[in-house]
Amino acid sequence: MQPPEIDLTKLDAIIDRHKIGKWELIPLLQDVQETFGYVPPETIEPIAEALNLFPAQVQGVITFYSGFSLKPKGKYVCRVCRGTACHVKGSRSILRLMKHELGLEEGETSPDYQFTLETVACLGACFLAPTMMINRDYFGKLSPTKMTSVLGEYRKKESE
Amino acid sequence: MEKLSSIGQLEWFRNKILSRKQEGIIEVHVCMTGCRAYGAAGIFEALTDEVKSQGLSKQVEIRATGCHGFCAKAPVIAIEPMGVQYQEVEPNDAGDIVVKTLKQNQLIDRLAYRAPKTFQPVFYRNQIPFYAKQERRVLANCGRIDPTNIEHYIAAGGYQALVKALSKMAPEQVIDEVQAAKLRGRGGAGFPTALKWKFARLAEGRPKYIVCNADEGDPGAFMDRAILEGDPHAVVEGMLLGAYAMGSEYGFIYVREEYPIAIEHLNIAIEQANELGLLGENILGTGFNLDLSLRLGAGAFVCGEETALMASIEGQRGMPRARPPFPAKAGIDGKPTNINNVETWANVPLIVKNGAGWYGEVGTEDSKGTKIFSLAGKVNNTGLVEVPIGATVKEVIFDIGGGIPKGRQFKAVQMGGPAGGCVPAQFLNLSIDYDTVQRIGAIMGSGGMVVMDENNCMVEIARFFLSFTQSESCGKCAPCRLGTTQLLEILTRITRGEGRMEDIDTIRDLGETLSEASLCGLGQACPKPALSTLKYFLKEYEDHIKEHRCAGAVCDSMVISACQHACPAGIDVPNYVAAIAEGEYEKSVEIIRERNPFPAVCGRICIHPCEYKCRRGELDQPVAIRALKRVASDWYFENIGPQRDPFPITREEKVAIVGAGPAGLTCAYFLAKMGFKTTVFEAQSVAGGMLGIAVPEFRLPRQVIEEEIQYIENCGVEIRYNSPIDAKHTFNDLLKEGYSAVFIAAGAQASKHIGIPGEDEDLQGIYYGLDFLSNIRMGQEVPLSGKTVVIGGGNVAFDVARTALRSGAHDVQIFCLEPRDEMPAWEKDVEEAIDEGIVINPEASPSNITQKDGRVTGIEFTHCVCVFDDEGCFNPTCDLEDSRLVEADNIIISIGQAADMSFLSADSQLERELWGALVVNTNTLATNVPGVFAGGDFTTGPTFVIRAISSGRRAAIAINKHLTGDDSPVYIPDEKSVRHTTTKLALEEESTEDKPRIEAEFEDAKERVTDFREVEKGFTEAEACREATRCLRCDLEKEENGI
């Protein structure tokens, strides 16, 4: 399946917003990522040009930070927390089960671009351990049953 | 909002806000930050609707606040000014809360905090132990004000510090105040904040920048998040004060993008402060400017390092650079820059507003004030905790944190994340301060505390941290890039059971190189988790490498199921539990006997390490494995009995065993099974060792031991009673008599003495624990009367006390050094003893026994303040002023036992340790004399029966190897017994019906103390079947996944 179409015309507006300020590369890329769900490789050159940088510099920043992705992600990005508190409380099994349920490895996106599975160093929600985040929502004190039911909710939402 | 153009206008504005606040308004504070994951938004909505529909909108304010701290019980709400706190609230509780509590002033039981043990409801926040020992200063507003409304912050006294600084203090004075307060960086390093500020103030160059480091990346830390979400203006005000003091015009808050609520609240706070003229140009008309903006992190842990953070702000790859020059001289854009952590900034307004004197009222000499810790992991009350610097680890984890869930043992607390180390149990009394924590190999760090219990593997934890630092290493410098990869590889190898002993030295060497040669803190500190676990848990590393044993039962390659791995004897627990579920008790006992010839004994008195590791325990409660074992073995002896044919003798060699306790008999049993002729020499007229002479009848009936021993004898083991090995008949004689090997398992049966004035063995009324128990067990009359004092906090002390009660003592009291919750005795025995009316007096150190005419009259105790010293060594500290005299007719001393070595002749060739114990190889149990082995309590000191059994089996395997000329080490991996195929266990069950653990019943406490009847009743067969089907069959899961 093809990734969802993106409207590259939005890029100009984003660039305009950040062209004037100082040190705007990262905020600009964050805007791009937010708008398109990832940083489309074809945006690198226009961004570099606008900020008076080499494309390699832009590329270097994109690949350095785990917050940026050059590949499109799924509609629902599931981030399983692998922080200490979650680890101590068994997040390894949660991740194992997520991989099994979604049929994805870490960093992979499902062919229909519905789900992306990621791990994150710490969500700072250690009191809820083990936790995960789907897009901007937190889910805590996960057990295998709870995890499957959360996923089920998202799947249901999709099929409706 | 209108812009405030002078300092006076801010005060005017504050008065206006306060005057609008009506008397008698009830505020309901709903945490809308951390609790949001639990549906706090729904509760907020439901409460608002309910208040409206009850027509209370004018009297009640439902307020969305930050974190209350008590995250374990989320969602939490507080009702002010009543001071009530409700927990685990759901939207459909809104009706009751509004109608009952808000309208009718009634408190709701089901939403209240429950006191541990008594389960009584506690309604008021200041009575909940979690809050009682805290000193909430920085977090004072958190959970009280609406963080998205600047008026709330101002009403609570916010921006008063700014007013004070702008109107009455020169910038230098602000720095002086911070210096006098001895504020140290809360981000981890603990550098004096004022010093940093001075450097920045004195540095030349314009503009100057200040930065708030809110890139809270340490896994396990979430205090910065709570401050940003719950009280963002405190950070803004702190930065304003810093900017004023240092003469800076630009400020950045670098916050990680994983904190969406924090970002939202900061944006609102900055916007509102700008609108009011508290930020921006010409602040409050004083001509002071600060342009404050947010920068979002993009998911790189290393950006928490200050030079990397600055690179990131400048829009580059976030890679650190060498220092000097320090940021104060050349930071962002090469200009003077000052970076402080969120919590540090949030402390500044408190110092300026209240003065350094007030600030320094709490804390230690070198570090004043409070520190916020985020408590997570295996602790009951997870959440945010603010305590004075210098509080002890124990106060934080046990008094505030409520201890470890499910009665498990505390193992260590990890402090400081990937750059920190672990603080093991022996340092519980350590006071937490930058310097003390550093001294023992951890760091206070930013305040993350992840508690670990006995079910965590320390090697695996070290591996976990290294995998984190390895993947977060930016790759700029070679030591860090290559070193983390190497370290990770080694640690992974060890957890996979492929480690080598030389790996341990390699970790140390590599660690040293990394900390000396790496460019930034990430690389320098990353070996710490490995080094500190090596320092305190070396044995776990060695066990992984040599024995393939994982103390936490988590390393996949060596564990089939956690229960089996936890069992010192390695019994295939899931398999025999499955057999019980099928009603196949004989099969079940056979499976147990593959590793342990004492099923009925262990079914009663085993401390069941298996149950503490049971995965079902994570779901609700662990399977009652011990009680199940009892059912099967009781059935076995009732229906089949101890008779059986002896094992055929297929080997020429004969083996002698000294001592017919559980270790000796287990060894004999397995040697007989291997085909050896084995003879056990027992000094007493009965067999069973401690089981026979010390464990009281009411816990382990005589008949049970006799049947088990009969069974072992029937296997072909010969026991020679009244045959001591001593000067007349030495173990050398045994070798001469044709025994090819000897196993010494003589137990630990010499009672220890206290060594205090008046402790005279000949005194009437003084007894020693083990002698007392064995005299009673052997049928001698020990008539006790009157008041009996038992000294000791271990299992023997409790057996003694309960036996004394059954032997005529009217009143029995136990005195021990430890606090109640640290007594080494098994909790089950303690509870049973309390039920029987035995009084426990903790923290009492005996100092003097008084007597009259050769009879005990009493004993004096001093107050034992602390059993272990700062280094974790047994070294009781007592308050000699605080003493009391207790009248007593009998005193029974049970403070421990040691091996009695007197039977070994002085010129014996056996090598001893300095303190007298035999030197044995821990793997083969071999002594320095070929063919002579030693094990059980005799070499380890008193421990639990299952350990003695495991030691006996190990000896049998070692002796067999020795006799066949195999000199490879003993290796005892977990093994599956022959697979029991049909199963109706939980794994296959579809229903999610609740199935709580079945608890065994007890004889009535009042009745049972009148004689020596067995206290615990066994399961019925129906109960056993039901309980056995609770097993989740983790072992099968493993086979399915092919791991």
pLDDT in tens, B63-93: 999 999 998 898 999 999 899 999 999 999 9
Instruction: Give me the DSSP letters along B537-601.
Output: -HHHHHIIIII---TTS--GGG-S-HHHHHSTT---HHHHHHHHHTT-HHHHHHHHHTT-S-HHH
Whether A146 and A82 map to the same domain: the answer is: yes
Whether A81 and A149 map to the same domain: the answer is: yes
Model confidence over B344-365: pLDDT tens digits?
999 999 999 999 999 999 999 9
Whole-structure pTM value: 0.89
Chain A contact residues (CB < 8 Å to B): 23-27, 29-30, 57, 60-61, 64-68, 82-90, 120-129, 131, 133, 136-140, 143, 145
Nearest to B317 among A60, A123, A131 (CB): A60
**Which of B:568-587 have CB within 8 Å of A?**
none
CATH of the domain at A88: 3.40.30.10
Check residue B670 and give its pLDDT.
97
The verdict on residue A123 lying in a domain is yes
Whether A60 and A80 map to the same domain: the answer is: no
Least confident of B258-272, B344-358, B680-694: B680-694
Whether A95 and A50 map to the same domain: the answer is: no
pLDDT value at B984 more than 60: no
pLDDT value at B992 more than 70: no
What 3-state class would DSSP assign to B375?
A: strand
The verdict on residue A132 lying in a domain is yes
Token pair for residue B537? 């848990």
Whether A84 and A145 map to the same domain: the answer is: yes
pLDDT average, residue stretch B652-660: 95
Between these two residues, B55 and B779, which has the higher pLDDT value?
B55
The verdict on residue A26 lying in a domain is yes
pLDDT average, residue stretch B299-321: 93
Q: Which residue of chain A is at minimal alpha-carbon distance from B69?
A: A127
Nearest to A120 among B34, B258, B300 (CB): B258
> In total, how many domains does chain A have?
2
pLDDT value at B1027 more than 90: yes
Whether A81 and A58 map to the same domain: the answer is: no
Check residue B1043 and give its pLDDT.
37
pLDDT average, residue stretch B955-976: 93
CA dihedral B401, B404, B409, B414 (to 10 degrees): -60
Binning pLDDT at 50, 70 and 90, where does residue B647 land?
very high
Flag if A125 and B222 touch (Cβ within 8 Å).
Answer: yes
Q: How far is B464 from chain A (nearest CA, A)?
A: 8
CB count within 10 Å of CB B94 equals 23
Nearest to B34 among A83, A127, A139 (CB): A127
Q: How far is B933 from chain A (nearest CA, A)?
A: 39
pLDDT average, residue stretch B446-462: 93
Flag if B377 and A129 touch (Cβ within 8 Å).
Answer: yes
> Given the structure tokens 């035995």, which residue do they identify?
B838
- Residues of chain B contacting A127 with CB distance shorter than 8 Å: 34, 71-72, 74, 222, 374-376, 382-383
Whether A82 and A155 map to the same domain: the answer is: yes
Instruction: Give me the DSSP letters along B774-814.
Output: HHHHTT------SEEEEE-SSHHHHHHHHHHHHTT-SEEEE
Nearest to B317 among A64, A125, A128 (CB): A64
pLDDT value at B330 more than 50: yes
Nearest to B37 among A25, A65, A128 (CB): A128
pLDDT value at B805 more than 70: yes
Whether A154 and A81 map to the same domain: the answer is: yes
Model confidence over B392-426: pLDDT tens digits?
999 999 999 999 988 888 999 999 889 999 999 98
pLDDT value at B725 more than 80: yes
Binning pLDDT at 50, 70 and 90, where does residue B991 land?
very low
Q: How far is B250 from chain A (nearest CA, A)?
A: 13
pLDDT average, residue stretch B153-158: 95
pLDDT value at B986 more than 70: no
pLDDT value at B325 more than 80: yes
Whether A59 and A80 map to the same domain: the answer is: no
Between these two residues, B899 and B596, which has the higher pLDDT value?
B596
Q: How far is B31 from chain A (nearest CA, A)?
A: 14
Check residue B272 and give its pLDDT.
97
Nearest of B265, B344, B272 to residue B65 by alpha carbon = B265
Residue of B313, B382, B423 to mutate, testing the A interface (most A Cβ within 10 Å of its Cβ): B382
The verdict on residue A125 lying in a domain is yes
pLDDT average, residue stretch A150-155: 90
CA dihedral B1020, B1024, B1025, B1026 (to 10 degrees): 100
**Residue B291: its H or E element:** strand B288-296
Partner A contacted by B390 (CB < 8 A): no
The verdict on residue A71 lying in a domain is no
Beta bridge partners of B879: B863
Between these two residues, B887 and A89, which has the higher pLDDT value?
B887
Contacts of B814 (CB under 8 A, 6+ apart): B790, B791, B792, B793, B797, B798, B801, B833, B838, B839, B840, B841
Check residue B982 and give its pLDDT.
54
How does the average pLDDT of chain A come out, rounded?
A: 89
- Residues of chain B contacting A84 with CB distance shorter than 8 Å: 219-220, 376-377, 414, 417, 448, 450, 461, 464-465
Partner A contacted by B620 (CB < 8 A): no
pLDDT value at B568 more than 90: yes
Report the percent of chain B where pLDDT is more than 90: 74
Binning pLDDT at 50, 70 and 90, where does residue B177 land?
very high
Q: How far is CA B941 from CA B750, B798, B954, in A?
A: 10, 18, 17
Whether A116 and A49 map to the same domain: the answer is: no
Model confidence over A33-61: pLDDT tens digits?
999 989 999 999 999 999 999 999 999 99
Partner A contacted by B38 (CB < 8 A): yes
Flag if B297 and A67 touch (Cβ within 8 Å).
Answer: yes
Domain boundary among A64, A90, A110: A64
Whether A141 and A116 map to the same domain: the answer is: yes
Check residue B987 and give its pLDDT.
46
pLDDT value at B496 more than 50: yes
DSSP single-letter state for residue B3 = P
pLDDT value at B1042 more than 50: no
Nearest to B258 among A25, A82, A123 (CB): A123
Check residue A121 and give its pLDDT.
81
**Residue B945: its H or E element:** helix B945-963
Check residue B801 and give its pLDDT.
94
How does the average pLDDT of chain B come out, rounded?
A: 91
**Which of B:194-233 have CB within 8 Å of A?**
216-222, 225
- Residues of chain A contacting B300 with CB distance shorter than 8 Å: 64-67
> Is this prediction's ipTM beyond 0.85?
yes
Whether A122 and A88 map to the same domain: the answer is: yes
Contacts of A9 (CB under 8 A, 6+ apart): none
pLDDT value at B988 more than 50: no
Nearest to A138 among B36, B296, B300 (CB): B36
Domain boundary among A24, A44, A64: A64
Q: Which domain holds residue A26?
A: 9-64
